[in-house]
């Protein structure tokens, strides 16, 4: 397994470019299931979860071209022949977002067999709301041997009120509703930009969706959807990660190719912390030349402070003067990074869903372990300001959602390199 080796102390200077949003690309790729015509998606990030989704669609019988080059990060997906509307445990266990194929498969093929994702490092993460919503649309659902089986001659439009706000639950049912008979009204929907981006793609495919980005979404079902071309929105979580890295290292970093309108909660928080930022329509410049002041954070659904930025913010809080109380309201177990930050010298106390961070404490390099995607990012940020050389193990987590992170950070002055697992001599020599 690869490791990242980071020597702290360099301020980040210059321009770093943001990739397409993983969490917009995944539902967009699943949307290709809804039509027998090709879907072309541009600005696809070169990350592990995209490759997993390519495999998932190919296993069903889709033709998926995926090309990364200077000119484009593009995928063309044709789901003309979907032989087996299934998502196997082997793939779903590596990426729970595979559940996003459930709604499209039932809507297009009339049946689906998708492995239950099981829990993950940050929490139980059930999909009960996806299932309840599909039943409201008339699907018959059974669960056995760890799989969800769903069947429906044709889905019928319905009123759906989500018990809790769920991002992929909203996306899954939005896709299913596009081919249902009649009108579907979904309330208490997620308002994330990735939901709106999916609705934009679906409307380009001939769907009739109104209200995406608001709590209530109306869908007039149609009998068929057609092919389309769509450019994926920039990754707001990657952008937030780099903005925090610029602030933390006391640098002068221009984060280009992002959408500042998606970063309101973070930018407001950074003003409280005393970090200067300036933005254009598609970039944020962060100048971290002053003292950092402690500020509390509570994660909320969009447009509140994103849970996917909580771990990265905690790394910053260890370097702020004073006490920052970070409350995680979305997931029940999303503080694993705190234990690793403490090993590097941070002063953090966990009290249920709150983490109390006392700064400023110098951080010293250590061998640390990444546990999930955003926890890994938090450790990278801490390593950028730690004294010495930090080694982060299990970086496959970070490769799931960050494209070429070491190249991007090295490009703005970080001392970071990737090392492959050193095989023991005999194994390498075959003796
Ligand atoms: C999406 O996950 C993102 N993933 C996550 O990003 C993100 O952390 C999360 O939304 C919250 O913003 C993708 O978009 C692929 P939820 P999702 O359903 O949809 C509970 C990353 O780092 N819930 O909005 O799985 C759930 O347990 C990843 O890129 C139910 O109870 O999250 C959680 O407490 C990590 N029943 C809350 O709702 C359900 O049926 C929000 O989860 C569904 C969810």
| 74 CA to centre of ligand 1 in angstroms | 26
Q: Looking at residue 146, what DSSP letter applies? A: T
For ligand 1, mutation pick of 167, 170, 190 (most atoms within 8 Å of CB): 167
Alpha-carbon distances of 292 from 267, 271, 274, 312, 388, rounded to whole Å: 14, 10, 6, 15, 22
For ligand 1, mutation pick of 103, 114, 162, 164 (most atoms within 8 Å of CB): 164
- Domain positions in the chain: 3-19+234-427, 22-220
| 167 CA to centre of ligand 1 in angstroms | 6
Fold of 3-19+234-427: UDP-n-acetylglucosamine1-carboxyvinyl-transferase; Chain (3.65.10)
| Phi, psi (rounded to 5 degrees) for 198 | -65, -45
**Ligand 1: residues whose CB is within 6 Å?**
23, 26, 97, 123-130, 164, 166-169, 190, 307-308, 330-331, 373-374, 401
What torsion do the CA atoms of 236, 241, 247, 250 make, to the nearest 10 degrees?
-140
Domain 3-19+234-427 matches domain 22-220 at the CATH topology level = yes
Among protein residues, the one whose CA lies closest to atom 18 of ligand 1: 166
Per-residue pLDDT of the chain (431 residues; tens, 9 = 90+): 889 999 999 999 999 999 999 999 999 999 999 999 999 999 999 999 999 999 999 999 999 999 887 656 999 999 999 988 999 999 898 899 999 999 999 999 999 999 998 767 788 888 999 999 999 999 999 998 999 999 999 999 999 999 999 999 999 999 999 999 999 999 999 999 999 999 999 999 999 999 999 999 999 999 999 999 999 999 999 999 999 999 999 999 999 999 999 999 999 999 999 999 999 999 999 998 879 999 999 999 999 999 999 999 999 999 999 999 999 999 998 999 999 999 999 999 999 999 999 999 999 999 998 888 999 999 999 999 999 999 999 888 999 999 999 999 999 999 999 998 654 444 444 33
Q: Which atom of ligand 1 is nearest to the CA of 306?
A: 12
Alpha-carbon distances of 123 from 49, 119, 168, 316, 333, rounded to whole Å: 19, 6, 15, 24, 5
Cα distance between residue 416 and residue 5, in whole Å: 6
For ligand 1, mutation pick of 20, 23, 126, 312 (most atoms within 8 Å of CB): 23
> Which residues, 6+ apart, have CB-to-CB distance to 265 below 8 Å?
303, 304, 305, 306
- DSSP 3-state assignment of 163? coil
Among protein residues, the one whose CA lies closest to atom 31 of ligand 1: 126
Among protein residues, the one whose CA lies closest to atom 8 of ligand 1: 308
Among protein residues, the one whose CA lies closest to atom 42 of ligand 1: 166
Q: Which residue has the tokens 């057609």?
A: 226
Among protein residues, the one whose CA lies closest to atom 7 of ligand 1: 308
The answer to whether 240 touches 252, Cβ cutoff 8 Å, is no
Cα distance between residue 350 and residue 8, in whole Å: 26
Q: Which residues pair with 120 in a beta bridge?
A: 123
Architecture of domain 22-220: Alpha-beta prism (3.65)
Q: Which atom of ligand 1 is nearest to the CA of 27?
A: 15
| Phi, psi (rounded to 5 degrees) for 167 | -70, -60
Q: Which atom of ligand 1 is nearest to the CA of 331?
A: 34
What per-residue confidence (pLDDT) applies to 371? Answer: 84
| 310 CA to centre of ligand 1 in angstroms | 14
Considering the candidates 79, 109, 120, 258, report the single residue annotated as catalytic. Answer: 120
Among protein residues, the one whose CA lies closest to atom 21 of ligand 1: 308
What torsion do the CA atoms of 363, 367, 371, 372 make, to the nearest 10 degrees?
60
Cα distance between residue 380 and residue 12, in whole Å: 13
Name the nearest CA neighbour of 337 among 421, 279, 269, 398. Answer: 398
Among protein residues, the one whose CA lies closest to atom 30 of ligand 1: 126
Q: Is 79 a catalytic residue?
A: no
Q: Which atom of ligand 1 is nearest to the CA of 97?
A: 15
Q: Which residues pair with 209 in a beta bridge?
A: 219
């Amino acid at each position: 397994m690869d490791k990242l080796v980071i020597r702290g102390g360099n301020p980040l200077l210059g321009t770093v470019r943001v990739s397409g949003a993983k969490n917009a690309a995944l539902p967009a790729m699943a949307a290709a299931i809804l039509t027998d015509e090709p879907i072309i998606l541009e600005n696809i990030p070169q990350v592990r979860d995209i490759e997993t989704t390519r495999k998932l669609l190919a296993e069903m019988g889709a033709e998926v071209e995926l090309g990364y080059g200077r000119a484009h990060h593009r995928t063309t997906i044709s789901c003309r022949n979907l032989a087996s509307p299934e998502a196997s445990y082997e793939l779903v266990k590596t990426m729970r977002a595979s559940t996003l194929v459930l709604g499209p498969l039932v809507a297009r093929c009339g049946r689906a067999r998708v492995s239950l994702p099981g829990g993950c490092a940050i929490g139980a993460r059930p999909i009960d709301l996806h299932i309840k919503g599909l039943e409201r649309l008339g699907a018959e659902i059974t669960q056995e041997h760890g799989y969800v089986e769903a069947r429906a001659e044709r889905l019928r439009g319905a009123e759906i009120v989500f018990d809790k706000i769920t991002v992929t639950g909203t996306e899954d049912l939005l896709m299913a509703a596009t081919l249902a008979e009649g009108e579907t009204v979904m309330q208490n929907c997620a308002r994330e930009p990735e939901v709106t981006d999916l609705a934009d793609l679906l409307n380009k495919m001939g769907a009739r969706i109104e209200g995406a980005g608001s709590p209530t979404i109306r869908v007039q079902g149609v009998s068929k959807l057609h092919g389309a071309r769509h450019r994926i929105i920039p990754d707001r979580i990657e952008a937030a990660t780099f903005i925090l890295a610029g602030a933390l290292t006391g640098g002068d970093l221009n984060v280009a190719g992002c959408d500042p309108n998606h970063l309101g909660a973070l930018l407001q928080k950074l003003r409280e912390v005393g970090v200067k930022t300036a933005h254009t329509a598609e970039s944020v410049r962060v100048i971290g030349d002053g003292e950092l002041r402690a500020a509390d954070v509570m994660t909320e659904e969009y447009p509140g402070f994103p849970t996917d930025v909580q771990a990265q913010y905690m790394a910053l809080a260890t370097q702020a003067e004073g006490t920052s109380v970070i409350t995680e309201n979305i997931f029940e177990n999303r503080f694993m990074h705190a234990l690793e930050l403490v090993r590097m010298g941070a002063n953090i106390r966990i009290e249920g869903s709150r983490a109390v961070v006392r700064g400023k404490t110098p951080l010293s390099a250590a061998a640390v372990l990444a546990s999930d995607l955003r926890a890994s990012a938090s450790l990278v940020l801490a390593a950028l300001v730690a004294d010495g050389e930090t080694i982060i193990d299990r970086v496959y987590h970070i490769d799931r959602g960050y494209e070429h992170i070491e190249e991007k950070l090295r490009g703005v002055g970080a001392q970071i390199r990737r090392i492959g697992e050193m095989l023991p001599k005999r194994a390498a020599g075959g003796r």
